[in-house]
Chain A
Amino acid sequence: MAQRFAQKLLRFYIPLILFLLFLLFPFYWMLVTTFKSDVELYNLSLNPFYIYTWSLANVKHLLFDTPFLRWLFNTFLVSVVSAFISLATSLLAAYGIQRIRFRGSGFMGIAIFFCYLVPPTILFIPLATMVFKLKIWDSLVSLSIIYPTFLIPFCTWLLMGYFKSIPKELEECAMMDGASRLWVFFKVIIPLSLPGIVSAGIFAFTLSWNEYLYALTFISSSLKKTISVGLVTELVRGDVYHWGPLMAGALLGSVPIALIYSFFVEYYVAGMTGALKE
């Protein structure tokens, strides 16, 4: 008995605890730093893992002395708009490719998958010249229409997997009764694939929220920045790092994503593994 427990300790509990410590420590550190005062933060004789006196000074500084709330709003707006565009168009495309099976649908499926593999690092320079010519430089419009380029391939691929699982007979019955494609799409397919739509929506929202390179390249005025770009460019001035407010910003910028995630974790895992297996 004791030997079995020792074995389980060695093979399960100890590795698990070590992994969790490694994966969670940065979050703990972010939290601790956020609620410390500067005096305590830069005093090396104190234990840095412990908060001696709690302080909201960093959060206050972030919320009232920087445009953080504006960045939060910008990020939210861009994420909602681009997720909506991506979801609406991907739904149509995924249905077209997976269910209508026209000539060239197989090719389109593969082409869209390959689009998913093209990283923003290859596209940001030509896109920057296009954004400049279209006169949407330094505006959230540019982000809202460019983010769908990396969201659509993923959403389409994910939704194709869901549509595959809906029995074809349901559609065929409805169409025999004289229903049109669009009616079938809105009244049969969409209600049946709601879990897939929710996963795709969450993914699209999270991925836009996390985007950095395009936001850094296309936006230059302080009030139009998104959270990640704003924090790094505005809270670091030369050699002066405002670590307290920076950590508060990292914390508050992660909370919305963590909240959404905690509500939909099953959808998230299903979407991630589903997309891999398809």
Chain B
Amino acid sequence: MHNGATVFKDQSDPQGRTSGRLSMALQQRGVVGVLFTAPVGIILLLLLAYPFVLGIWLSFTDTIIGRTGHFIGLENYFYLLFDDVFRLTTFNTLLYTVAAVFFKLVLGFALAMVLNRDFKAKGLVRAIVLLPWIVPTALSTIVFWWIFDSQFSCISWVLIKMGILSHEIDFLGNPNNARASVIAVNVWRGIPFFTIGLMAGLQTINQSLYEAADIDGASPWVKFRKITVPLIMPLLAVITTFSIIWTFADFHLIWIMTRGGPANATHIYGTLSYQRAIPGGHLGEGAAISIFIFPILLICVLITAKYLRREE
């Protein structure tokens, strides 16, 4: 009896100690914190960080679909640097990004200024303005594809009826027209992001600043330049950074409308890497093309980080 009790006690003691340790560990911030963040950490490590590194590795190999590749060093990169299509793609990507972000910024900011006042149905107008942003881009792109049809475009129809043109515009068949068309669609889709983001920023500007400027007799342009722009700058920088990343790394808008054509005039990094990697089968080369997105990404990240830290 006595013996049994000791044995029982001996057995229970280490158990008691471990459960005590467990509950003590669960009181510690470090352990609890790790447990709460572990699921997200694991998912992002396995499906984001690992593929990211794998992509860099693939770009140094000659992997094609169905065959494991060998390490070939920088061969893919050298090949690309002397590839005319790739050079044209680099030009297209820069043009697409600069032009689209510029127009999105200017028009989005303009619309935010127009809407930055009290009027009836403000909520409704704001909801309507966001529509191009929330509707699936692939689906709205299909609509633009139809608007830019070579035979039945409604834009051509109007211009011909008005007597401005004598024949249909070849929107997507002519290189420069095609470039302008895909940029226009990107601008259409991206304006709401700038407008809604900037409207939120404009509302936080203290109205007394404008009143003080009014007393000093400042013109609307001076008020805009000296009050609105400086105060909205940090927010504008973050919005623009996001927009640059998304535009630079765009894919589906162009893939649906032109597939990079005509004559590669609208190929950007995203579409070219898809074309070479998936239908073309050259995974290594495709990965190398997509890696070229990375430097721009890095610069954007650094800019964002700078502004985020400043706000903290």
Contacts and interface: CB of A to CB of B under 8 A. Distances in A.
Contacts of B235: 276-277
A209 B136 contact: yes
A19 to B, nearest CB: 5
Interface string B210-238: 00000000000000000000000001001
B273 A258 contact: no
B198 to A, nearest CB: 10
B142 A250 contact: yes
> A23, A115, A122: which has the most chain B beta carbons within 10 Å?
A122
A210 interface: yes
A16 B114 contact: yes
B152 A41 contact: yes
A206 interface: yes
Contact of A273 (B114, B115, B196, B242): B196
A126 interface: yes
A115 to B, nearest CB: 6
A93 B36 contact: yes
A109 B283 CA distance: 33
Contacts of A204: none
Interface residues of A, number: 93
A250 B304 CA distance: 35
Contacts of B293: 119, 121-122
Interface stretch (B1-9, B75-83, B123-131): B123-131
Contact of B51 (A88, A114, A121, A126): A126
Interface stretch (A27-35, A57-65, A166-174, A192-200): A27-35
Interface residues of B, number: 93
B4 to A, nearest CB: 35
A250 B130 contact: no
Interface stretch (B12-20, B27-35, B84-92): B27-35
A130 B46 CA distance: 10
A206 B133 CA distance: 11
B142 A232 contact: yes
Contact of B136 (A30, A145, A254): A254
Nearest to A218: B278
B249 interface: yes
B32 A212 contact: no
Contacts of A127: 47, 51
Interface in A110-148: 110, 112-115, 117-130, 145-146, 148
Interface string B46-72: 011011101100100001000000000
Contacts of B273: 121, 125
Nearest to A15: B114
B139 A227 contact: yes
A210 B287 CA distance: 24
Interface in A226-278: 227-229, 231-232, 241, 243, 246-247, 249-250, 253-254, 257-258, 261-262, 265, 268-269, 272-273, 276-277
B173 interface: no
Interface string B120-156: 0001011111111011111110111011010010100
B256 interface: yes
A103 B30 contact: yes
A176 interface: no
A48 B152 contact: yes
Interface of A: 11-12, 15-16, 19-20, 22-24, 26-27, 29-30, 33, 41-42, 44, 48-49, 88-90, 92-93, 95-97, 100-105, 108, 110, 112-115, 117-130, 145-146, 148-149, 152-153, 156, 180-181, 206, 209-210, 212-213, 216-217, 227-229, 231-232, 241, 243, 246-247, 249-250, 253-254, 257-258, 261-262, 265, 268-269, 272-273, 276-277
Task: List the 3 closest A-B pairs by CB distance, nearest first.
Answer: A96-B36, A102-B33, A228-B138
